[in-house]
Structure 1
Amino acid sequence: MIQILTEPFAYGFMQNAFAIAALIAVPSALLSCFLVLRGWSLMGDAVSHAVLPGIVLAYVAGLPLILGAFAAGMFCSLTAGFVQDNSRVKQDTVLGVVMSGMFGLGIVMLTQISTDLHLDHVLFGNILGTGAPELWRAGGIGLAVTAALLVTWRDYGLFSFDPVQARVVGLPTRALHYGLLAMLSVMVVAMLSSVGIILSVALLIAPGAIAYLIAPRRLGRMLAVAVMVSLSGAILGVWLSFWIDSATAPTIVLVLTAIFVATFAFRQIQLARA
């Protein structure tokens, strides 16, 4: 039994996979709570897809891919916000158009150039191929996002629950708005090498959604639950993928999905008995 639990930790590539899974789990869990409360779940999906053109342009220009991804993510966020503020089109419609348009542009650009970029790795990550550079990048970004959210979580809590009240009490709501978008963009960048563009949205939504089912009215508890769920789901997903010989990032996503389904079912049973 002990061997079953510990054997995956005996391999260097698995140690790196466990490490980067833990590094991205904490900040993405904290961020997911505010995305869920703000109703920005689709924003995470949009930004994660929209970074592809930036990655391709950065590769062509010989720049770090992280810069292109961040610029594209912020461009998507700002464009969606501008269109929403200056038209009668609803946010989810705007995000759907911008997301699909930029993702399609990225695919077309990628097929038109000669590159050693692996589309599968960009879309779904390559967590078992994680090395020191990816660990340092994910760790640095994750630490910065975690620190920023822990310092400002009360402000973001009020901003998420009641933006009008936040403005009345003097909080810099515009700075909070764009700060959240910036943190969303950099977290997508941090997760590119591990879970990729498509699957990163699960880590940016599922922990917060699960925590909201468990602690909908207590933000501090919601943040703590989200971190525990995200960490346990990420570690369990990596460990399970070793034994069932499956793709690691999708296994993490399936574990988080199973936790959400189980939590939802449990809450429905509780409500039925009440």
Structure 2
Amino acid sequence: MISHFWTDLQSFHFLQNALFTSVTIGIVAGVLGSFIILRGMSLMGDAISHSVLPGVAVSFLIGIHPVLGAIAFGIFAALLITTIQQHSVIKSDTAIGITFSTFLALGVILIGLVHTTTNLFHILFGNVLAVQDSDMVLTIIISLIVLVVILLFYKQLLLTSFDPAAAQAWGMNVAVYHYLLMIMLTLVAVVSMQSVGTILIVALLITPAATAYMFVNQLHTMIWAAAAIGGTVSLVGLVLGYSFNIPVGSCIVICGTAVFALSFPFSPKQNLLWRKKNVQTKKAD
């Protein structure tokens, strides 16, 4: 059945769009996810990915492209969470939980009120096989913008991720790079709606980067590895999802999780195999 995918890929334009879109998102999510992992911002990625849903609904209501509304609400959510963190006694995880659950609930209500052919299930869990040419081009453009920005500000993002106190002491505006990362996170979350949906995008952002983190000690190596893993699991997930007629977005996430689970015991940082061997040696003695 899998062989049919490669045959159909040559014949069906929608499948070609799905391939380019899913692999592109997998790569850029892996790159950006490396910074998210280092900053301990996994929950923030989850919050923003949920917060774009009401933006999609509002876009349908006022007749603009869904991406514009989604970006606006995603950035607004990031600013709201940061403001609550900095100006209240509420802890960050509490602020994130309140914000993303509220935005998600609001989005579900608004989508239900909007008279549109767009399926809520496809927004939440993605439908990469329905990607149009314009969606694919927009995804590639936004992904390239994110990658170029990361390349241009790599040193600043590196320093503010590892040691924000030192970066501030050297005159860097740490808040600016924090918000820059939030904007890029919002952009990636928005373009990922088509492939894995707003619910599952956090997995694509975190899992490839977490897998790479277990094996490398340098950020640039981690970025390359996470991008390769993200692109590969997106491709494999698309092939399996199409071949066996199961949701592609969910299949991509499961593939990423499988790679993480299989890699975990072999991670040099975990030393699980070495510990097991050492325990067996001590028992033998």
Deviation digits for residues 194-226 of structure 1, max 9, x if unmatched?
2211111111111111111111x3111111110
- List structure 1 runs of 4+ shifted beyond 3 angstroms: 1-6
Task: Give percent identity, aligned residues only.
Answer: 34
2:201 aligned with 1:200: yes
- Partners of 1:244 and 1:177 in 2: CA distance: 41
Q: What displacement does 1:113 show?
A: 3.2
TM-score w.r.t. length of structure 1: 0.94
2:266 aligned with 1:266: yes
Q: What displacement does 1:57 show?
A: 1.0
Stretch deviating more after TM superposition (5-14 or 225-234): 5-14
Aligned residue number for residue 247 of structure 2:
247
Deviation digits for residues 209-245 of structure 1, max 9, x if unmatched?
1111111x31111111101111111111111223222
- When residues 79 and 262 of structure 1 are mapped into structure 2, their CA distance, relative to the original with a 3 A threshold, is same
Contact kept in structure 1, 2:127 and 2:195, CA below 8 Å: yes
Q: What displacement does 1:55 show?
A: 1.1
- When residues 52 and 3 of structure 1 are mapped into structure 2, their CA distance, relative to the original with a 3 A threshold, is closer
Aligned residue number for residue 160 of structure 2:
159
Deviation digits for residues 48-96 of structure 1, max 9, x if unmatched?
1011111111110111111110111011111111111111221111100
Structure number with larger C-alpha Rg: 2
- Partners of 1:250 and 1:2 in 2: CA distance: 18
Deviation digits for residues 158-180 of structure 1, max 9, x if unmatched?
11111001111222312101100
**Counterpart amino acid of residue 79 in structure 2:** L
Q: What displacement does 1:4 show?
A: 6.3
> What SS does the corresponding residue of 1:46 show, helix, strand or coil?
helix
- Partners of 1:4 and 1:13 in 2: CA distance: 15
Contact kept in structure 1, 2:146 and 2:184, CA below 8 Å: yes
- Partners of 1:62 and 1:250 in 2: CA distance: 30
- Partners of 2:119 and 2:6 in 1: CA distance: 32
Deviation digits for residues 85-118 of structure 1, max 9, x if unmatched?
1112211111001000111111112223322221
Q: What displacement does 1:271 show?
A: 4.6
Superposed counterparts of 1:1-274, under 5 Å: 3=3, 6-10=6-10, 11-215=12-216, 217-267=217-267, 268=270, 269-272=272-275, 273=277
TM-score w.r.t. length of structure 2: 0.91
- Partners of 2:110 and 2:244 in 1: CA distance: 36
Stretch deviating more after TM superposition (218-227 or 111-120): 111-120
> What SS does the corresponding residue of 1:93 show, helix, strand or coil?
helix
Root-mean-square deviation (Å)? 1.8
> What SS does the corresponding residue of 1:155 show, helix, strand or coil?
helix
Q: What displacement does 1:12 show?
A: 2.5
**Counterpart amino acid of residue 265 in structure 1:** P
Contact kept in structure 2, 1:237 and 1:251, CA below 8 Å: yes
**Counterpart amino acid of residue 195 in structure 2:** S
- Partners of 1:120 and 1:45 in 2: CA distance: 18
- Partners of 1:157 and 1:112 in 2: CA distance: 44
- Partners of 1:246 and 1:201 in 2: CA distance: 20
**Count of aligned pairs:** 273
- Partners of 2:106 and 2:130 in 1: CA distance: 27
Contact kept in structure 1, 2:2 and 2:240, CA below 8 Å: no
- Partners of 2:274 and 2:100 in 1: CA distance: 37
> What SS does the corresponding residue of 2:153 show, helix, strand or coil?
helix
Contact kept in structure 1, 2:5 and 2:243, CA below 8 Å: no
Q: What displacement does 1:259 show?
A: 0.7
| Structure 2 unaligned spans of 5+ | 279-285
- Partners of 1:237 and 1:135 in 2: CA distance: 18
**Counterpart amino acid of residue 131 in structure 1:** Q
